[in-house]
Amino acid sequence: AVPVSIMVGTGRGAELGILFRRGDALQRLASAKVIGFDKTGTLTLGKPALTAIETAGIDRDQALRLAAAVEARSEHPLAAAIVAAATADGIDLPNATAVKATVGRGIAAEVEGHALLIGNAAALTEAGIATEPALIAAADAWTATGATPVHLSIDGRHRASFALSDPIRPDAVEAVRELHDLGLRTAMITGDVRRTAEAVGGKLGIDHVIAGVLPDGKLKAVHDLGKGTVFVGDGINDAPALAAADTGIAIGTGTDIAIESAEVVLTGGDPKGVPRALRLSRAVMGNIR
Ligand code: ADP
Ligand code: MG
């Protein structure tokens, strides 16, 4: 039988925008020790904007036009930002063929007879493409501010880099502080590059930053953080970690796969729902004991 206080707690959670899809999650959260967060879309709004372009041997509009032509075929939030910037500039996008996306890396395609690749530096390196030092220097400066760099190669030459800035969620700083006040440790587990992740983690006061990981790496990081690890995420790439964590918490504005993989859903997307859920869980368990 489900104790009355769990039913009451689940009901109270629903009022607070915290959906407990399983009653035992409400019990288990009380013994949480570490809260691991995805970055993009979880601690940030997941709505990046294009804030800078650097090019090498190509003009800015042509770089943006080709990059957007490829990104129009991607569902990644970074891709949407590049397409939105091209559209805002009134650029007509040519057609992309032979499209091939790689999780946590980027996307390749052919446009107007050119072989294009757009993604992080690892995507270029793994394709055997040498990165352009001047473009990498620009990208490094962007990462220090918390922006994410995306690189474009054309026919095997690194030709442009784009800076994408994704605002931190307004209540994320407060959520992290409340978790620390509750005696928990915090971590960020992200596919983004280390310097960007550390800049964002620094602004938030996160204890521990794990960067540059693919979805399997997120799962492994959750395992490594040990027993009592809660993972909070929103993306397709978060699903394995959400399922593997002691408790998976999905951001309600996230993907269906993330929501289905989680035991708790924050309907509004406010990260303060995490400390709220913990306090509720502790109150309920205090009643049962
Ligand atoms: P996160 O953990 O931050 O949600 P992802 O695993 O979705 O990150 O992506 C990791 C990295 O892969 C991104 O920061 C980006 O550098 C690169 N990437 C993936 N898909 C794309 C794309 N379509 N365009 C550009 N970069 C991409
Ligand atoms: Mg995400």
Domain limits of the chain? Answer: 4-45+169-288, 49-165
- What is the reported pLDDT for 261? 96
- What is the reported pLDDT for 286? 86
Give tens-digit pLDDT for 117-151: 999 999 999 999 999 999 999 999 999 999 999 99
Cβ–ligand 1 distance for 150 under 6 Å, the answer yes
Give tens-digit pLDDT for 76-91: 899 999 999 999 999 9
| Ligand at shortest distance from the CA of 188 | 1
- The whole-chain average pLDDT of the chain stands at 95
CA of 148 to the centre of ligand 1 (A): 9
How far lies 62's CA from each of 69, 89, 133, 210, 263, in Å?
10, 12, 21, 35, 46
Domain 4-45+169-288 part of CATH 2.120.10.90:
no
- Whole-model pTM: value is 0.91
Fold of 49-165: Calcium-transporting ATPase, cytoplasmic domain N (3.40.1110)
How much is the average pLDDT of 180-204?
97
Taking 70 as the threshold, does the pLDDT of residue 205 lie above it? yes
Cβ–ligand 1 distance for 38 under 6 Å, the answer yes
Q: How far is it, in rounded angstroms, from Cα 141 to Cα 144?
A: 5
What torsion, rounded to 10 degrees, do the Cα atoms 73, 77, 78, 81 define?
A: 90
For the CA of 38, the closest atom of ligand 1 is 2
- What is the reported pLDDT for 277? 97
Best residue among 71, 120, 164, 222 to mutate for probing ligand 1, ranked by most atoms within 8 Å of CB:
120
How much is the average pLDDT of 171-182?
98
- What is the reported pLDDT for 138? 98
Q: 170: exposed, middle or buried (C-beta count within 10 Å: 0-12, 13-18, 19+)?
A: exposed
How much is the average pLDDT of 106-117?
98
- What is the reported pLDDT for 289? 63
CA of 39 to the centre of ligand 2 (A): 6
Residue 129: closest CA among 120, 139, 141, 138: 120
Q: Which residues are identified as catalytic?
A: 38
- Locate the DSSP E strands across the chain: 18-20, 34-37, 49-55, 96-102, 106-111, 114-119, 148-154, 157-165, 185-189, 208-210, 229-233, 247-251, 264-266
Taking 70 as the threshold, does the pLDDT of residue 223 lie above it? yes
